Amino acid sequence: MLRSNIPSYEITPKTLYLSRRDFMKTSALLASGALLAACVPSDLSQLSRSPSISPTLLTDTLTSYEAITTYNNYYEFSMDKQAVARLAQKFRPRPWEVHIDGLVRRPKTYGIEDLLKRFPQEERIYRLRCVESWSMVIPWLGFPLANLLAEVEPTSDARFVRFVSILRPEEMPGQRDPFFDWPYQEGLRLDEAMHPLTILATGLYGELLPNQNGAPIRLVVPWKYGFKSIKGIVLIELAAAQPKTFWSTASPHEYGFYANVNPNVPHPRWSQATERRIGELGRRPTLMFNGYEAEVAHLYTGMDLTKNY
Ligand SMILES: Nc1nc2c(c(=O)[nH]1)N[C@H]1C(S)=C(S)[C@@H](COP(=O)(O)O)O[C@H]1N2
Ligand SMILES: [Mo]
Protein backbone atom coordinates (compact mmCIF):
# COMPACT_ATOMS: atom_id res chain seq x y z
CA MET A 1 0.00 0.00 0.00
CA LEU A 2 2.68 2.39 0.76
CA ARG A 3 4.88 3.60 -2.01
CA SER A 4 4.20 0.54 -4.17
CA ASN A 5 1.94 2.14 -6.77
CA ILE A 6 3.72 5.48 -7.10
CA PRO A 7 6.68 5.05 -9.39
CA SER A 8 8.86 8.05 -8.64
CA TYR A 9 10.36 7.28 -5.25
CA GLU A 10 14.09 7.52 -5.59
CA ILE A 11 15.82 6.02 -2.61
CA THR A 12 19.14 4.38 -1.95
CA PRO A 13 19.73 0.81 -0.85
CA LYS A 14 20.71 2.32 2.49
CA THR A 15 17.34 4.00 2.69
CA LEU A 16 15.67 0.77 1.74
CA TYR A 17 17.50 -0.91 4.56
CA LEU A 18 16.58 1.82 7.01
CA SER A 19 12.94 1.73 5.96
CA ARG A 20 12.82 -2.01 6.39
CA ARG A 21 14.41 -1.76 9.79
CA ASP A 22 11.92 0.93 10.71
CA PHE A 23 9.15 -1.26 9.36
CA MET A 24 10.27 -4.12 11.57
CA LYS A 25 10.42 -1.81 14.55
CA THR A 26 6.89 -0.59 13.91
CA SER A 27 5.58 -4.12 13.39
CA ALA A 28 7.15 -5.16 16.66
CA LEU A 29 5.49 -2.28 18.45
CA LEU A 30 2.15 -2.97 16.84
CA ALA A 31 2.39 -6.63 17.76
CA SER A 32 2.65 -5.86 21.44
CA GLY A 33 -0.50 -4.60 23.11
CA ALA A 34 1.39 -3.30 26.13
CA LEU A 35 3.87 -1.35 24.07
CA LEU A 36 1.11 -0.15 21.81
CA ALA A 37 -0.68 1.35 24.79
CA ALA A 38 2.47 2.78 26.26
CA CYS A 39 4.36 4.06 23.26
CA VAL A 40 2.32 4.32 20.10
CA PRO A 41 -0.64 6.66 19.91
CA SER A 42 -3.72 4.59 19.08
CA ASP A 43 -4.16 6.77 15.98
CA LEU A 44 -1.23 5.08 14.39
CA SER A 45 -2.62 1.60 14.88
CA GLN A 46 -4.09 1.95 11.38
CA LEU A 47 -0.67 2.53 9.93
CA SER A 48 -0.24 0.28 6.95
CA ARG A 49 3.32 -0.28 5.85
CA SER A 50 4.68 -2.50 3.16
CA PRO A 51 8.35 -3.20 2.54
CA SER A 52 7.81 -3.64 -1.20
CA ILE A 53 9.62 -0.83 -2.95
CA SER A 54 10.43 -0.51 -6.59
CA PRO A 55 14.22 -0.94 -6.86
CA THR A 56 14.55 1.46 -9.79
CA LEU A 57 16.19 4.89 -9.62
CA LEU A 58 17.80 4.46 -6.24
CA THR A 59 19.68 7.75 -5.96
CA ASP A 60 18.37 9.79 -3.02
CA THR A 61 19.13 9.26 0.66
CA LEU A 62 16.66 10.11 3.42
CA THR A 63 17.47 13.33 5.27
CA SER A 64 18.09 12.64 8.97
CA TYR A 65 15.24 12.98 11.48
CA GLU A 66 17.44 15.46 13.31
CA ALA A 67 17.76 17.77 10.28
CA ILE A 68 14.09 17.48 9.30
CA THR A 69 12.99 18.49 12.79
CA THR A 70 15.51 21.25 13.56
CA TYR A 71 15.74 23.22 10.28
CA ASN A 72 12.22 24.48 9.68
CA ASN A 73 10.32 27.23 7.94
CA TYR A 74 7.28 28.04 10.08
CA TYR A 75 6.88 31.82 10.19
CA GLU A 76 4.13 31.61 12.81
CA PHE A 77 6.92 30.76 15.27
CA SER A 78 9.99 32.47 13.85
CA MET A 79 11.81 33.50 10.70
CA ASP A 80 14.89 31.81 12.18
CA LYS A 81 14.81 28.19 10.97
CA GLN A 82 16.91 26.99 13.88
CA ALA A 83 14.66 28.63 16.49
CA VAL A 84 11.36 27.14 15.26
CA ALA A 85 11.66 23.74 16.96
CA ARG A 86 12.27 25.26 20.38
CA LEU A 87 9.57 27.92 20.05
CA ALA A 88 7.04 25.30 18.88
CA GLN A 89 7.52 23.00 21.90
CA LYS A 90 4.62 24.43 23.90
CA PHE A 91 2.16 24.48 20.99
CA ARG A 92 -0.79 22.16 21.64
CA PRO A 93 -1.76 20.17 18.50
CA ARG A 94 -4.61 18.37 20.29
CA PRO A 95 -7.57 18.67 20.50
CA TRP A 96 -7.82 19.79 16.87
CA GLU A 97 -10.58 20.11 14.29
CA VAL A 98 -10.39 20.45 10.52
CA HIS A 99 -13.41 22.00 8.77
CA ILE A 100 -14.14 21.24 5.13
CA ASP A 101 -16.75 23.44 3.51
CA GLY A 102 -17.48 25.79 0.63
CA LEU A 103 -18.64 24.28 -2.68
CA VAL A 104 -19.30 20.76 -1.38
CA ARG A 105 -22.43 18.67 -1.01
CA ARG A 106 -21.45 17.39 2.43
CA PRO A 107 -19.50 19.89 4.52
CA LYS A 108 -17.79 18.14 7.43
CA THR A 109 -15.81 18.80 10.57
CA TYR A 110 -13.33 16.13 11.60
CA GLY A 111 -11.51 15.79 14.88
CA ILE A 112 -7.88 14.87 14.23
CA GLU A 113 -8.41 11.43 15.77
CA ASP A 114 -11.36 10.78 13.38
CA LEU A 115 -9.14 11.66 10.41
CA LEU A 116 -6.44 9.28 11.58
CA LYS A 117 -8.95 6.47 12.07
CA ARG A 118 -10.95 7.03 8.93
CA PHE A 119 -8.11 7.34 6.40
CA PRO A 120 -5.44 4.63 6.42
CA GLN A 121 -2.01 6.20 6.90
CA GLU A 122 0.62 5.36 4.29
CA GLU A 123 4.32 6.13 4.17
CA ARG A 124 5.39 8.40 1.30
CA ILE A 125 9.03 9.30 0.72
CA TYR A 126 9.15 12.63 -1.09
CA ARG A 127 11.71 15.26 -1.94
CA LEU A 128 10.90 18.67 -0.42
CA ARG A 129 12.38 21.61 -2.35
CA CYS A 130 12.24 25.03 -0.67
CA VAL A 131 12.21 28.10 -2.91
CA GLU A 132 15.27 29.26 -0.93
CA SER A 133 17.08 26.48 -2.85
CA TRP A 134 17.70 23.88 -0.18
CA SER A 135 16.06 20.46 -0.20
CA MET A 136 15.43 17.36 1.88
CA VAL A 137 14.05 13.83 1.41
CA ILE A 138 11.33 13.13 3.96
CA PRO A 139 9.46 9.91 4.83
CA TRP A 140 5.97 11.25 5.53
CA LEU A 141 2.99 9.42 6.94
CA GLY A 142 -0.33 10.55 5.62
CA PHE A 143 -3.15 9.94 3.18
CA PRO A 144 -4.19 11.26 -0.23
CA LEU A 145 -6.11 14.53 -0.04
CA ALA A 146 -8.32 13.05 -2.79
CA ASN A 147 -9.73 10.55 -0.26
CA LEU A 148 -10.91 13.36 1.98
CA LEU A 149 -12.30 15.42 -0.91
CA ALA A 150 -14.29 12.40 -2.10
CA GLU A 151 -16.12 12.30 1.25
CA VAL A 152 -17.33 15.91 1.04
CA GLU A 153 -18.34 15.68 -2.65
CA PRO A 154 -17.20 18.90 -4.35
CA THR A 155 -19.93 20.42 -6.54
CA SER A 156 -19.40 21.01 -10.27
CA ASP A 157 -18.61 24.71 -9.62
CA ALA A 158 -15.65 23.88 -7.40
CA ARG A 159 -12.37 24.58 -9.23
CA PHE A 160 -9.95 25.45 -6.42
CA VAL A 161 -9.13 24.36 -2.89
CA ARG A 162 -8.16 26.89 -0.26
CA PHE A 163 -6.25 25.90 2.88
CA VAL A 164 -6.01 27.97 6.05
CA SER A 165 -3.63 27.47 9.00
CA ILE A 166 -4.37 27.95 12.67
CA LEU A 167 -4.41 31.47 14.12
CA ARG A 168 -3.10 31.41 17.71
CA PRO A 169 -0.96 34.48 18.37
CA GLU A 170 -0.75 33.61 22.11
CA GLU A 171 1.16 30.43 21.22
CA MET A 172 2.74 31.55 17.96
CA PRO A 173 5.00 34.58 18.47
CA GLY A 174 5.56 35.16 14.74
CA GLN A 175 1.84 35.90 14.33
CA ARG A 176 2.33 39.08 16.35
CA ASP A 177 4.32 40.47 13.39
CA PRO A 178 1.82 42.76 11.65
CA PHE A 179 3.81 42.78 8.40
CA PHE A 180 2.16 39.50 7.39
CA ASP A 181 -1.48 38.82 6.66
CA TRP A 182 -2.24 36.04 9.17
CA PRO A 183 -3.37 33.31 9.14
CA TYR A 184 -1.14 31.55 6.57
CA GLN A 185 -3.17 30.52 3.53
CA GLU A 186 -2.51 28.45 0.45
CA GLY A 187 -4.40 27.10 -2.54
CA LEU A 188 -4.39 24.46 -5.25
CA ARG A 189 -6.39 23.93 -8.40
CA LEU A 190 -8.87 21.09 -7.79
CA ASP A 191 -7.07 18.76 -10.22
CA GLU A 192 -3.77 19.39 -8.39
CA ALA A 193 -5.51 18.71 -5.08
CA MET A 194 -6.96 15.44 -6.43
CA HIS A 195 -3.61 14.23 -7.80
CA PRO A 196 -2.51 11.00 -6.09
CA LEU A 197 0.86 12.49 -5.07
CA THR A 198 -0.88 15.22 -3.01
CA ILE A 199 -1.20 14.14 0.60
CA LEU A 200 -2.23 15.40 3.99
CA ALA A 201 0.65 14.40 6.27
CA THR A 202 0.10 13.47 9.91
CA GLY A 203 3.54 12.04 10.69
CA LEU A 204 7.12 11.49 9.62
CA TYR A 205 9.67 8.73 10.25
CA GLY A 206 6.84 6.54 11.54
CA GLU A 207 5.84 8.95 14.32
CA LEU A 208 3.25 11.67 14.79
CA LEU A 209 4.20 14.97 13.15
CA PRO A 210 6.37 17.15 15.44
CA ASN A 211 4.94 20.63 16.09
CA GLN A 212 7.66 22.31 14.05
CA ASN A 213 6.74 20.25 10.98
CA GLY A 214 3.08 21.28 11.10
CA ALA A 215 1.33 19.12 13.70
CA PRO A 216 -1.18 17.70 13.71
CA ILE A 217 -1.83 17.90 9.96
CA ARG A 218 -0.22 19.63 6.98
CA LEU A 219 -0.32 19.50 3.22
CA VAL A 220 2.50 17.97 1.14
CA VAL A 221 2.63 18.72 -2.61
CA PRO A 222 6.03 17.36 -3.64
CA TRP A 223 6.32 18.93 -7.13
CA LYS A 224 5.79 22.48 -5.80
CA TYR A 225 8.04 24.71 -3.70
CA GLY A 226 7.83 23.96 0.00
CA PHE A 227 5.74 27.02 0.88
CA LYS A 228 2.70 25.43 -0.83
CA SER A 229 2.87 22.62 1.76
CA ILE A 230 0.92 24.51 4.42
CA LYS A 231 1.20 23.47 8.07
CA GLY A 232 -1.29 23.36 10.94
CA ILE A 233 -4.40 23.20 8.73
CA VAL A 234 -7.79 24.05 10.30
CA LEU A 235 -9.87 24.87 7.19
CA ILE A 236 -10.13 23.40 3.71
CA GLU A 237 -12.56 25.27 1.49
CA LEU A 238 -13.70 24.41 -2.04
CA ALA A 239 -14.09 27.52 -4.19
CA ALA A 240 -14.88 28.72 -7.71
CA ALA A 241 -12.19 31.43 -7.74
CA GLN A 242 -8.43 31.14 -7.28
CA PRO A 243 -7.72 31.80 -3.59
CA LYS A 244 -5.18 34.34 -2.40
CA THR A 245 -2.09 32.95 -0.76
CA PHE A 246 0.13 34.11 2.11
CA TRP A 247 3.25 34.57 -0.02
CA SER A 248 1.67 36.09 -3.10
CA THR A 249 -0.01 38.62 -0.78
CA ALA A 250 3.25 39.42 1.04
CA SER A 251 5.35 39.73 -2.13
CA PRO A 252 3.33 39.53 -5.36
CA HIS A 253 6.25 40.07 -7.74
CA GLU A 254 8.16 37.14 -6.19
CA TYR A 255 5.44 34.55 -5.67
CA GLY A 256 2.71 33.34 -7.98
CA PHE A 257 -0.08 30.87 -7.37
CA TYR A 258 1.41 27.79 -9.02
CA ALA A 259 4.93 27.63 -7.51
CA ASN A 260 5.85 24.50 -9.44
CA VAL A 261 9.51 23.61 -8.96
CA ASN A 262 11.16 24.82 -12.18
CA PRO A 263 14.94 25.09 -12.64
CA ASN A 264 14.43 27.33 -15.70
CA VAL A 265 12.50 30.11 -13.98
CA PRO A 266 14.65 32.01 -11.46
CA HIS A 267 13.17 33.64 -8.39
CA PRO A 268 14.24 37.31 -8.11
CA ARG A 269 16.52 36.40 -5.18
CA TRP A 270 17.49 32.80 -5.92
CA SER A 271 18.44 31.01 -9.13
CA GLN A 272 16.43 27.81 -9.11
CA ALA A 273 18.85 25.83 -11.29
CA THR A 274 20.54 23.99 -8.43
CA GLU A 275 19.89 23.13 -4.80
CA ARG A 276 21.70 22.28 -1.59
CA ARG A 277 20.53 18.94 -0.20
CA ILE A 278 20.59 19.28 3.58
CA GLY A 279 23.18 16.91 5.05
CA GLU A 280 25.19 16.65 1.81
CA LEU A 281 28.11 18.61 0.43
CA GLY A 282 27.93 20.61 -2.76
CA ARG A 283 24.92 21.34 -4.92
CA ARG A 284 22.85 19.21 -7.26
CA PRO A 285 20.77 20.21 -10.27
CA THR A 286 17.12 20.93 -9.53
CA LEU A 287 14.77 18.71 -11.50
CA MET A 288 11.71 19.95 -13.40
CA PHE A 289 8.66 19.56 -11.14
CA ASN A 290 11.15 18.42 -8.47
CA GLY A 291 11.58 15.12 -10.33
CA TYR A 292 7.85 14.34 -10.56
CA GLU A 293 7.51 15.50 -14.18
CA ALA A 294 6.26 12.17 -15.51
CA GLU A 295 3.42 12.20 -12.98
CA VAL A 296 2.34 15.85 -13.12
CA ALA A 297 3.43 17.59 -16.36
CA HIS A 298 0.06 16.79 -17.98
CA LEU A 299 -1.66 19.08 -15.45
CA TYR A 300 0.00 22.07 -17.14
CA THR A 301 -0.31 21.25 -20.83
CA GLY A 302 -0.64 24.44 -22.86
CA MET A 303 0.26 26.74 -19.94
CA ASP A 304 3.19 29.15 -20.15
CA LEU A 305 5.17 28.16 -17.05
CA THR A 306 7.30 31.31 -17.18
CA LYS A 307 4.15 33.41 -16.73
CA ASN A 308 2.32 31.04 -14.39
CA TYR A 309 5.18 30.74 -11.91
N1 LIG B 1 1.58 27.53 8.13
C2 LIG B 1 2.79 27.52 7.55
N3 LIG B 1 3.08 26.52 6.68
C4 LIG B 1 4.29 26.48 6.08
C5 LIG B 1 5.25 27.50 6.31
C6 LIG B 1 4.92 28.54 7.23
O7 LIG B 1 5.72 29.46 7.51
N8 LIG B 1 3.69 28.50 7.83
N9 LIG B 1 6.48 27.46 5.65
C10 LIG B 1 6.49 26.72 4.38
C11 LIG B 1 7.83 26.57 3.83
S12 LIG B 1 8.54 27.96 3.16
C13 LIG B 1 8.46 25.36 3.75
S14 LIG B 1 9.95 25.19 2.94
C15 LIG B 1 7.89 24.16 4.42
C16 LIG B 1 8.91 23.60 5.38
O17 LIG B 1 8.44 22.40 5.96
P18 LIG B 1 9.34 21.61 7.02
O19 LIG B 1 9.71 22.58 8.11
O20 LIG B 1 8.47 20.49 7.51
O21 LIG B 1 10.55 21.11 6.27
O22 LIG B 1 6.70 24.44 5.14
C23 LIG B 1 5.81 25.35 4.49
N24 LIG B 1 4.57 25.45 5.22
MO1 LIG C 1 10.22 27.22 1.80
β-strands 122-129, 134-144: how paired?
antiparallel
Cα 214 to averaged position of ligand 1 atoms, centre (Å) = 8
**Which range (10-19, 24-33, 287-296) has the least confidence?**
24-33
- The Cα–Cα gap between 133 and 237 comes to 30
**pLDDT (tens digit per residue) in 46-83:** 444 443 333 335 579 999 999 999 999 999 999 999 99
Across the range 172-193, mean pLDDT stands at 98
pLDDT at residue 278 tops 90: yes
Provide mean pLDDT across the span 259-277.
Answer: 97
Say how many Å lie between the CA of residue 34 and the centre of ligand 1: 36
pTM of the model: 0.85
Shortest CA distance to 82 belongs to which of 67, 64, 92? 67
Cβ–ligand 1 distance for 127 under 6 Å, the answer no
Contact present, 125 and 11 (Cβ < 8 Å): yes
Q: At 186, which amino acid appears?
A: E
Q: What is the mean pLDDT of residues 272-287?
A: 97
Distance (Å) from CA 230 to ligand 1 centroid? 6
Domains and CATH numbers, the chain: 8-298 (3.90.420.10)
Is 230 touching ligand 1 by the criterion CB < 6 Å? yes
Q: Are strands 274-277 and 134-144 parallel, antiparallel or unpaired?
A: parallel
Q: Is 231 touching ligand 1 by the criterion CB < 6 Å? A: yes
pLDDT, tens only, 197-211: 999 999 999 999 999
CA 85, 89, 92, 96: dihedral to nearest 10 degrees? 20
Q: What is the pLDDT of residues 117-150, one digit of tens each?
A: 999 999 999 999 999 999 999 999 999 999 999 9
Task: Give the mutation target among 231, 251, 278 for probing the ligand 1 site: most ligand atoms within 8 A of CB.
Answer: 231
Distance between CA 276 and CA 268 in Å, rounded?
A: 18
Ligand 1 pocket, residue 184 CB under 6 Å? yes
> Residue 40 pLDDT more than 60?
no
Ion ligand 2 contact residues with beta carbon within 5 A: 73, 130, 226-227
User: Taking CA 241 as the corner, what is the angle to CA 238 and CA 247, rounded to the nearest 5 degrees?
Assistant: 90
Residue 227 CA to ligand 2 centre (angstroms): 5
Q: How far is the CA of 129 from the centre of ligand 2 (A)?
A: 7
**CB-ligand 1 contact for 174 (6 Å cutoff):** no
Euclidean distance between CA atoms 128 and 219, whole angstroms: 12
**Minimum CA distance residue for ligand 1 atom 19:** 72
Q: Is 78 in the pocket of ligand 1 (CB under 6 A)?
A: no
> With bands split at pLDDT 50, 70 and 90, how would you rate the model's confidence at 256?
very high
Alpha carbon of 143 to ligand 2 centroid (Å)? 22
What's the confidence (pLDDT) of residue 292?
98
